[in-house]
């Protein structure tokens, strides 16, 4: 796979979160824009919406927005790692759906099986993705496209061609995990924040995180520096699978059933959120927190379009698409500037 060479400065920015010492003011600003652009937009959108619609900034609305965003956010977390290595994981939507159906099926045996069965199955798919990408050096696009179809087929097989919807037994602790909450905030929100905290630490403060950036920055250079490229790749695809399966299980608990028509095009939403959050699609540069902001931005835009009411809901996709284009154009511009500078 062809890689855009990323300068050492860019890698430094991604690690330290700020422009390297001696960088010009313009460079510092462009680094900040890359990092926090989505956050600025999110804050602006939330502010304007709160002032325009009195039903937006309410406890109920914010909580359920956050809970709804939690499932996509967990998927996007895994996707962030994959994209920083320069890869892509198209299987997450199908794995999410499979995870949900397996969780609902296994919930009749208790909460632990309801979590372990889907996570194990999703982990196996992630591992297979990782092995194929890392060892055979097949393009991640093709490998995960194949597993996307495979996981969807598996989901249909365990749900009788999608006709059988398993229900989570009423009153089980598994339901409470997603439907309950503390201080008016749903448990899925806490779980998501905890996972992102861990993800951030892993990416920024560990040797593994450095390998992830190095592999995405320049794979050959990373290999020469002694980074275990294959192992790093295998790990990120495994993580992505595990997280997608877990998100699916959590979603099944939220809905109280293993809905079989979920997860279509979810991989695209996850990729969009990651890119909007400032992670370069070419790899080597990215932030876990940005992906969280990206997911929230997508969900808030949907809410705003519904609030405006006179806009057809198709416009949500238009607006999200425009955002994506704006961000990608800005990214290209910024990284080109940095390279020239």
Nearer to another protein, 78 or 217 (CB): 78
* Beta carbons of 273 and 294 less than 8 angstroms apart: yes
Check binding of 183 to another protein (CB under 8 A): no
What does each C-alpha distance from 63 to 95, 109, 150, 303 come to in angstroms? Answer: 26, 30, 35, 13
Report in angstroms how near the CB of residue 310 gets to another protein at its nearest: 3
* CA atoms lying within 13 Å on the CB side of residue 285: 30
Nearer to another protein, 4 or 63 (CB): 63
Looking at the DSSP bridge assignments, the partners of residue 181 are: 186
Report in angstroms how near the CB of residue 129 gets to another protein at its nearest: 23
Check binding of 307 to another protein (CB under 8 A): yes
What single-letter DSSP state applies at residue 227? -
Contacts (CB under 8 A) with another protein, residues 41-70 = 51-56, 58, 60-61, 64-65, 67-68
According to DSSP H, which parts of the chain are helical?
A: 8-16, 25-52, 59-84, 92-106, 111-135, 140-158, 173-179, 187-205, 207-217, 219-224, 229-255, 266-276, 288-308, 314-340
> Binding segment for another protein among 32-40, 110-118, 313-321, 328-336 (CB under 8 A)?
313-321
Among 299, 320, 324, 335, binds another protein (CB under 8 A): 299
Nearer to another protein, 30 or 320 (CB): 320
Report in angstroms how near the CB of residue 284 gets to another protein at its nearest: 32
Report in angstroms how near the CB of residue 218 gets to another protein at its nearest: 38
> What Rg, from alpha-carbon coordinates, does the chain have?
20
State how far Cα 9 lies from the chain centre.
26
Check binding of 254 to another protein (CB under 8 A): yes
Check binding of 108 to another protein (CB under 8 A): no
Got the DSSP string for 289-307? HHHHHHHHHHHHHHHHHHH
Token pair belonging to 114: 């309801």
Q: What value, to the nearest 5°, has the Cα angle with vertex 218 and ends 269 and 130?
A: 55
Check binding of 21 to another protein (CB under 8 A): no
Burial of residue 50 (CB within 10 Å: 0-12, 13-18, 19+) is middle
> Binding segment for another protein among 4-12, 31-39, 300-308, 332-340 (CB under 8 A)?
300-308
Contacts (CB under 8 A) with another protein, residues 135-164 = 160-164
Check binding of 256 to another protein (CB under 8 A): yes
Check binding of 172 to another protein (CB under 8 A): no
Token pair belonging to 94: 């199908």
In the complex, which residues of this chain contact another protein (CB under 8 A)? 51-56, 58, 60-61, 64-65, 67-68, 71, 160-165, 167, 175, 179, 251, 254-257, 259, 261-262, 264-265, 299, 302-303, 306-310, 312-314, 317
């Amino acid at each position: 796979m062809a890689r855009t060479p990323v300068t050492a400065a860019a890698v430094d920015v991604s690690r330290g979160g700020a422009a390297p010492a001696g960088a010009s003011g313009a460079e510092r600003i462009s680094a900040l824009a890359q990092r926090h652009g989505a956050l600025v937009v999110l804050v602006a959108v939330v502010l304007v919406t709160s002032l325009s619609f009195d039903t937006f900034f309410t406890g109920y609305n914010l909580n359920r927005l956050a809970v709804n965003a939690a499932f996509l956010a967990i998927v996007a977390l895994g996707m962030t790692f994959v994209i920083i290595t320069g890869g892509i994981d198209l299987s997450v939507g199908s794995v999410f759906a499979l995870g949900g159906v397996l969780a609902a099926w296994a919930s009749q045996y208790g909460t632990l099986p309801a979590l372990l069965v889907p996570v194990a199955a999703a982990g196996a798919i992630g591992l297979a993705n990782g092995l194929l990408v890392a060892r055979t050096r097949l393009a991640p696009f093709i490998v995960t496209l194949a597993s996307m179809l495979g996981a969807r087929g598996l989901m249909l097989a365990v749900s009788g061609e999608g006709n059988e919807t398993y229900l989570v037994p009423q009153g089980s602790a598994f339901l409470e995990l997603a439907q309950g909450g503390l201080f008016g905030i749903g448990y899925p929100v806490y779980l998501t924040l905890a996972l992102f905290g861990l993800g951030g630490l892993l990416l920024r403060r560990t040797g593994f995180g450095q390998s992830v950036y190095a592999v995405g920055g320049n794979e050959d250079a990373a290999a020469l520096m002694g980074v275990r490229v294959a192992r790093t790749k295998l790990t990120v695809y495994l993580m992505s699978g595990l997280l997608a399966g877990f998100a699916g299980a959590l979603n099944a608990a939220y809905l109280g059933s293993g809905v079989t028509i979920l997860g279509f095009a979810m991989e695209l939403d996850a990729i969009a959120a990651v890119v909007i959050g400032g992670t370069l699609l070419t790899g080597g540069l990215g932030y876990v927190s940005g992906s969280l902001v990206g997911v929230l931005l997508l969900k808030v835009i949907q809410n705003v379009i519904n609030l405006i009411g006179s806009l057809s809901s198709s416009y949500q996709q238009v607006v999200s698409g425009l955002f994506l284009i704006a961000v990608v154009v800005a990214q290209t511009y910024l990284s080109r500037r940095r390279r020239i500078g």
